[in-house]
Chains A and B, each alone.
Chain A
């Protein structure tokens, strides 16, 4: 294995040296393209960091053992997806959504994983939104990447506090020689909960300060804001204007964003044949669920209208979902 690893390492090192300039061009294009879009969208508080995978980091990962005498990656040059990466740091967790919507509009998204949803919802811990994406062909031309490697790009979007916790816990969990004790793990989980509460408290402070536009509002980035979504849902079911609870409108706004609707017209077109049946549906649903808000009814209509596509477009796993 030792000789095989050395030989593989040499071959991969040569491959890396040959391609690294192209990878750096992809990184530079990503920095300019995404950075420019963030600025143009007025998301001034978002901070973009990019990097090209370092030679040693690539070689270490590419020669990882599979534990059975072989290598974890049969062809790391095509299997690894993190040659070029970007991280967008935003002030609070509520600010993740506007950036995510921007990313979804700009690039071809091959995968999107909400790390919050992949873990126990009851336990505080790692939170981040991860994208695996590629430039659109027309953008590759414009950005001068026609002859650069067509590698996927990893983009993480997370809040400052989420990032602080992830960085600090990573140092404790993975960089030391000692295996963390249960007590250390427990304290890290408690810290994640503390920071999550701090994040919520900062959002409350924003709202109390009158900065409602900063909370879940990316109208300036092309989406429609919480109030706009609430008004759209109210109109759909025929509810009184201003009656929709903000929490429900905010949740529906997340749904519409994942489905690709960035304005009322797009949201309505998603409803298809259900677009004119909001009042009727609300009446039926509220007979057994009197708590059903306009947003809830609109979400039900979207599920009916889009069928299986509803979950697919939201990036949900299909197994067991209904």
Chain B
């Protein structure tokens, strides 16, 4: 069985990923066992499928947590702290969040594809959908992905 990507919906998630190499959102979020994340917003699935490298299921979204982790000595926790700092800067206000560290957009580990446009009446997803990576990369629009 090939790899699967969990395509998450959210207006700011794509730009946040490009800026930080991370996804920050609802604590204890599950991604259906997918190895990669994709991003859906603006009626398209964006053209990068980064690998999920590290997940922190629940962490306080506070300046203390961001600063403490970012200025620590553990390189992974440092990235988590940077993601928290960026989320706070963007105005995210949940008491606790999940942080997912992803392969950066320019990393060879990140698969790229042509963005997939969505022409349906309703949003392709309001939350998230798990799709085979091969199907995503072979599709020319979301219509080729079927019901998922």
Q: A291 vs B91: C-alpha distance in the bound complex, in angstroms?
A: 11
B89 (CB) vs chain A CBs: closest residue: A291
Q: A252 vs B81: C-alpha distance in the bound complex, in angstroms?
A: 14
Task: Mark the stretch among B7-15, B65-73, B115-123 that contacts chain A.
Answer: B65-73
Q: How many A residues are at the interface, by size bracket?
A: 20 to 34
Q: Which residues of A contact B139 (CB under 8 A)?
A: none
B90 (CB) vs chain A CBs: closest residue: A291
User: When A122-B59, A316-B73, A321-B75 are in contact, do A245 and B67 touch as well, CB less than 8 Å?
Assistant: yes
Contact B67 A122 (CB under 8 A): no
Q: Is A263 an interface residue (CB 8 A)?
A: no
Contact digits for A217-257, partner B, Cβ 8 Å, 1 yes 0 no: 00000000000000000000000000001011011101100
Q: A288 vs B63: C-alpha distance in the bound complex, in angstroms?
A: 19
Q: A320 vs B76: C-alpha distance in the bound complex, in angstroms?
A: 10
Q: Which residues of A contact B71 (CB under 8 A)?
A: 248, 251-252, 254-255, 295-296, 299
Q: Is B85 an interface residue (CB 8 A)?
A: yes
Q: Which residues of A contact B75 (CB under 8 A)?
A: 320-322
Q: A322 vs B58: C-alpha distance in the bound complex, in angstroms?
A: 25
Q: Which residues of B contact A299 (CB under 8 A)?
A: 70-71
Q: Which residues of A contact B19 (CB under 8 A)?
A: 288
Q: Which residues of A contact B64 (CB under 8 A)?
A: 247, 250-251
Considering only CB atoms and an 8 Å cut-off, how many residues of chain B contact the other chain? 24
Q: Which residues of B contact A254 (CB under 8 A)?
A: 71
- B interface: dominant SS: helix
A225 to chain B, nearest CB (A): 16
Q: Is B130 an interface residue (CB 8 A)?
A: no
Contact A247 B70 (CB under 8 A): no
Contact digits for B45-86, partner A, Cβ 8 Å, 1 yes 0 no: 000000000001111001110111111111101000010011
Q: Which residues of A contact B63 (CB under 8 A)?
A: 245, 247-248
Q: Which residues of B contact A293 (CB under 8 A)?
A: 67, 85
Contact A311 B88 (CB under 8 A): no
Q: A250 vs B70: C-alpha distance in the bound complex, in angstroms?
A: 12
User: When A288-B19, A311-B73, A316-B73 are in contact, do A251 and B67 touch as well, CB less than 8 Å?
Assistant: yes
Q: A252 vs B19: C-alpha distance in the bound complex, in angstroms?
A: 24
Which residue of B62, B73, B77, B86 is within 8 Å of A121 (Cβ)?
A: B77
B76 (CB) vs chain A CBs: closest residue: A320
B87 (CB) vs chain A CBs: closest residue: A291
Q: A252 vs B72: C-alpha distance in the bound complex, in angstroms?
A: 9
Contact B58 A122 (CB under 8 A): yes
User: When A247-B64, A248-B63 are in contact, do A289 and B73 touch as well, CB less than 8 Å?
Assistant: no
Q: Is A176 an interface residue (CB 8 A)?
A: no
Contact A122 B82 (CB under 8 A): no
User: When A121-B77, A316-B73 are in contact, do A250 and B57 touch as well, CB less than 8 Å?
Assistant: no
Contact A289 B82 (CB under 8 A): yes
Q: Is A69 an interface residue (CB 8 A)?
A: no
Q: Is A314 an interface residue (CB 8 A)?
A: yes
Which residue of B67, B74, B77, B89 is within 8 Å of A248 (Cβ)?
A: B67
A256 (CB) vs chain B CBs: closest residue: B71
Q: A247 vs B64: C-alpha distance in the bound complex, in angstroms?
A: 5
Contact B67 A295 (CB under 8 A): yes
A322 to chain B, nearest CB (A): 5
A258 (CB) vs chain B CBs: closest residue: B73
Q: Is A290 an interface residue (CB 8 A)?
A: yes
Q: Which residues of B contact A117 (CB under 8 A)?
A: 72-74
A317 to chain B, nearest CB (A): 8
B19 to chain A, nearest CB (A): 7
B39 to chain A, nearest CB (A): 19
Q: Which residues of B contact A295 (CB under 8 A)?
A: 67, 71
Residues of chain A touching chain B, judged by Cβ–Cβ distance below 8 Å, are 117, 121-122, 245, 247-248, 250-252, 254-255, 288-293, 295-296, 299, 311, 314-316, 320-322
Pull 11 A–B residue pairs with CB atoms less than 8 Å apart, ordered by A. A121-B69, A245-B63, A245-B67, A288-B19, A291-B88, A292-B85, A296-B70, A299-B70, A299-B71, A316-B74, A321-B73
Residues of chain B touching chain A, judged by Cβ–Cβ distance below 8 Å, are 19, 56-59, 62-64, 66-75, 77, 82, 85-86, 88-89
User: Across chains A and B, which 5 residue pairs bring their CB atoms closest together, nearest first?
Assistant: A291-B89, A316-B73, A247-B63, A251-B67, A251-B71
- Further pairs besides A121-B69, A245-B67, A247-B66: 9, Cβ < 8 Å: A117-B74, A121-B77, A122-B57, A248-B67, A250-B67, A251-B67, A255-B71, A289-B86, A296-B71
